[in-house]
Amino acid sequence: MATLLAFIVALGLLITIHEYGHYRVAVACGVKVLRFSIGFGRPLVRWRLKGKPTEFVIGMWPLGGYVKMLDEREAPVEPNERHQAFNNRPLAVRAAIVLAGPLANLLLAVVLYGVVNWIGQEQSRPILSTPEAGSVAEQAGLRSGELVLEAAEEGEALQAVRSFEELRWHLTRTAMEGERLRLLLQAQAERGAVREVVLDFSSLPAGEEGDQLFRRIGIGSPFSLPVIGQIQGGSAAQEAGLQPGDLVLSIDGRAMTDAWQLRQWIRRSVAGHLQAWEVRRGEQRLLIQLKPRVLDEAGTRVGRIGAFVGAPPATSWVSDDAWEALVGGLGRTWEVSVLTLRMMGRMLVGEASLKNLSGPITIADYAGKSAERGWVSYLLFLAMISVSLGVLNLLPLPMLDGGHLMYYLWEAVTGRSVSEAWMDRLQRAGMVVLLLMMSIALFNDVVRLLD
């Protein structure tokens, strides 16, 4: 129920903001708006503001909305109202009205990111865990326990890195562009010892994203001590005698420096033999014999001990003043927009998997999970979806705002509007493309649900 509510609130807000952008600019430009609808189908609720010509409607199906304006192409218009018809307004006015919807979504994202930046939140410090074997981070010589002070793409000025989330953003952006990332690092055990390294992402295979991408990069999670947490009843950990709070020092003589290294060791323990675990329990050092169980996960054999691994990572409070927060929100919105377009382009040319397309089921799941983590996570989710909605609507596809802007570009260049015959063909083609995208997204949703 909470997931459904979070999804409805998110969808309602983003659609309302989008349509309000169209509505507000249309009214400001003197165009008569007949209906402002959130949702399609039979109206559930309708009302009018006193002295206003617009009917406001909430439809039965909330997967979209529309603003219906006076237009001679759709119905006869009284002579005294022709100056208020959309089709009779100058080209620049019509383009501004169409553009206002996506821009409203992007502006909402700027505000949401800005609010989160200003209010602040507790975030994991950018302290590195042991790099993944064979990864870019390992090849660059990154070490467990190092603190990332600053980062920048090569050729740009270094910027302070205040949290692990900021570090992941630098890594994601630079890796997807196949560029080089400079990191300024400080060894935690040697206060003041600072060095610079360069991560070269030019050799990463194109089209990788998410967890797969970060395995290639080699920086998966912030540093945390290899401490045993909650233990499942009847698990390998319980049978071996491990207890919550045990600090794992070594396994078979190999030192365990952090929780990430320990989790990877356990996952790769598929040989089925006893291991010698040295742990610290209070003031005692104990030697425990443990045999990880081997499970099959999606066709891959992995080791499991049935216990949570890792102490909570070190955190710090990260916030900005009002102006910095707003500028940061603008920058983040721009960067997410560029990455979204780049990913769409890669999917179009086959460099990225179509599995990245998500439909309403996945979005609803993310909405519920983000809401459970707190209002800050939910605001960040709303900002990300708002950017996606804004960028998607700017694509030059008929049926979308970007398609109408494409028509207006043609009109601006040639001096004449697109013919009705061509308009009909393009609308049909656009509908086919959108239905295909929606079908793929829904298929991906079902596959994720069944996994």
* Residues with catalytic roles: 19
Burial class (CB in 10 A: 0-12, 13-18, 19+), 305: buried
Say which residues have a Cβ less than 8 Å from residue 194's Cβ, sequence separation at least 6.
Answer: 149, 184, 185, 186
CA 368 to centroid of chain Cα atoms: 15
Looking at this protein, which amino acid is placed at residue 201?
Answer: F
Q: What is 171-189 written as a DSSP string? A: HHHHHHHT-EEEEEEEETT
Amino acid at 26: A
Rg (the chain; Cα; Å): 27
**Spatial distance between the Cα atoms of 430 and 233, rounded to a whole number of angstroms:** 55
**CA separation for the pair 151, 180 (Å, rounded):** 11
Is residue 254 within 8 Å of residue 130, measured between CB atoms? no
Using CB atoms within 10 A of its CB, is residue 80 exposed (0-12), middle (13-18) or buried (19+)? exposed
Contacts of 5 (CB under 8 A, 6+ apart): none
- The full length of the chain comes to 451
Query: Coil, helix or strand for 72?
Result: coil
Q: How far apart are CA 87 and CA 70, in angstroms?
A: 8
- Give the containing element (helix H, strand E) for 419: none
